[in-house]
A and B are shown apart, each in its own frame.
Chain A
Amino acid sequence: MKWSESFFTAIDGLKANKSRSALTILGIVIGIAAVIAMMAIGKGAQGLILSQIATLGSNNIFIEPGPWSKNMERGTLMQSMVEEMEIKTLKYEDALAIEKIQNVDKVAPLVIGVDRVIAETESKKVTYLGTTPQMIEISDLRCYLGRCIEDYDVKSNARVAVLGYKLKKDLFGDENPVGKKVRIKKTTFKIIGVAEEKGVQSFLNMDELVHMPITTAQEFLTGADYIRWIAVKVKDENLIDQTIEDIRLLLRERHNIYNPSGDLTKDDFKVVSQKETADVLGQITSIFTVLLSCIAAISLVVGGIGIMNIMLVSVTERTREVGLRKAVGARKKDILLQFLFEAVLLTLIGGVLGIVLGAFISWVTSFVFGQLLNTSWGFLLPLNAVLLGVGVSVAIGLIFGMYPAQKAAKLNPIEALRYE
């Protein structure tokens, strides 16, 4: 029997029971769509997280206050942000000291807070970032109106502010706000510049921030001399590990921590490279993707059982047909292939439709999240997910179609012809 012949026979078989075939296919469609959507969404989320981390460049090190917790030795970002904000071990002077370490290109201490900013007619609750010119360089921030923060602003605790692109729109509309005043916590700041549109960076929407000199933020807003974190840019990516060790030794000395064994849980700070953070988050999202895909795969098995069920019904219904085909010369192999082909055709159609549906679901998800997070969540349909979808649907057809097909192939022609 020719392959094309098997194909058309299978099509005829499916056409004979259109609604039954369609319902059976639906089981596979849902299964494949679920797997594809989970994989695509997982990939999209991973891409988003990694691109957010990568916005600051690859040769950065971050120093945060507080010790490594024992049960989360690698996941600093996973630790409660609120908890860290209360830890007061990191000082501005630490940042100045780190700047002198060999191989360190730029050091930027940061403080962060949330408060209401009041302009002439409008007011808004915003996040403010106490920063230095170095940080502005690290994050590649440019001002399209006025000027950005300079060293002398930091040295003089100048009450000046740079508005994010969208914040300026919200507070001043189309006016040029440079030279105007805003108030935060009873302190009046002079606006010296407006930043260019920048989007979301490291999960902060740069366009809705207020930038100010770190010294100013400490004196007038946080009222404390500790800082939230220190960003360090290393001259060369290959020097990161060495530099991390140098920073640890320096900070232990400055904080009077006796820790010759290098036990990280004894420190009152954490040093972590951008790459490490990216690796950890990448791993976590991968695990989630695999987990969700596994759950989705269960529905595929259910779909496969549906296929087997319907193929068994089909074989029983067509017992006489099988008997006749055998009588006129069909070999076991011919009958086996006929029913196997039918099962695979069912699952393959389901697989293709499932991929389309899964792609649609992940496209909708990427669109919704993109709107929600005000960022571009790249719509991804990973090629391996498509290949997997096709492969798995064919495999399910083969696996769950085999038993019914074998049952048909083994039928005795006489008994099959007499079957009522």
Chain B
Amino acid sequence: MIEVKDLEKVYKSDSVETPVLHGVSFNIEPGEFVAIMGPSGSGKSTLMHIMGFLDRPTGGIYKFEGKSIDEFNDDDLARIRNKKMGFVFQTYNLLPRTTVFDNVRLPLVYSGLEDKMEKDLVKEAIAAVGLSHRINFYSNQLSGGEQQRVAIARALVNNPSVIFADEPTGNLDSRSGKVVMLLLQELNDEGHTIVLVTHEKYTSEHAKRIIQLYDGRLVSDEKVSLRRYAKDEKELIK
């Protein structure tokens, strides 16, 4: 589903060139749960942005569902992001002064669905993250953990084939972090492909496979032998 080959990215600003990715290659199959790990500056976020169609590579090949990113214009990328991808960010990025319902609904605004169908989908997604009782709260009335769960609901409301999570637990306490990881694992079990970007070893061990980056190069790519299951720590959550 995701095919990365010799991927390069060089940032250019005012005649200064900053190479971030130096030829990274790997594939991700549907249903995988991949953690991309590495210290800050290793290029993991940049890689995720390219995989999430938020940015374009400066060299190499990136194919999503068999089609190269070069075949699409910016509006095509926006449409694919809307239909097939979901994003969870470290800082949640919810709209302030906006209800949980409207925040979760945001991707559907740009997908041109029927109003009635839209409402059901939003309610379903909010129920999936266990926030039905907060549906009419404003986003800024929620705790950090709840806000990130709203962000997850927003990411899955359009039933995407892949969800990109960029340090989703980075701003959360360990308890809220576990809830988030539990949700991501549940979504993976339901068939969503998950790409998780993190610098924490502990968090990455919730994935099925870990890709390690260092200075823009892939240094290791292996299956997790001792996978952590957030649901085993469920008693901590409640």
Which residues does A use to contact B, with CB under 8 Å?
1-2, 5, 12, 16, 320-321, 323-334, 413-414, 417
Contacts and interface: CB of A to CB of B under 8 A. Distances in A.
Nearest to B46: A414
A331 B93 contact: no
Contacts of B112: 1-2
Given A329-B79, A331-B78, A12 B98 contact: yes
B72 interface: no
Given A327-B54, A327-B81, A328-B81, A334 B95 contact: no
Nearest to B106: A328
B49 interface: yes
B147 interface: no
B54 A16 contact: no
B149 to A, nearest CB: 17
B54 A329 contact: no
B34 to A, nearest CB: 20
Tell me the interface secondary structure of chain A in the complex: helix
Contacts, number: 58
B107 interface: yes
B97 A325 contact: no
Given A324-B93, A331-B75, 20 more contacts: A1-B110, A2-B109, A5-B109, A16-B97, A320-B93, A321-B95, A327-B52, A327-B54, A327-B81, A327-B93, A328-B87, A328-B154, A329-B82, A329-B83, A329-B110, A329-B111, A330-B78, A331-B74, A331-B79, A417-B93
B62 interface: no
A331 B107 CA distance: 12
B95 to A, nearest CB: 6
Contact of A334 (B49, B81, B110, B154): B110
B124 interface: no
A417 B87 CA distance: 12
Given A413-B54, A417-B89, A325 B49 contact: no
17 contacts: A1-B112, A2-B109, A12-B97, A12-B98, A325-B106, A326-B78, A327-B81, A327-B87, A327-B93, A328-B87, A328-B154, A329-B111, A330-B78, A330-B110, A331-B78, A332-B74, A417-B93
B109 A1 contact: yes
Contacts of B110: 1, 325, 328-331, 334
Contacts of B111: 329
Contacts of A1: 109-110, 112
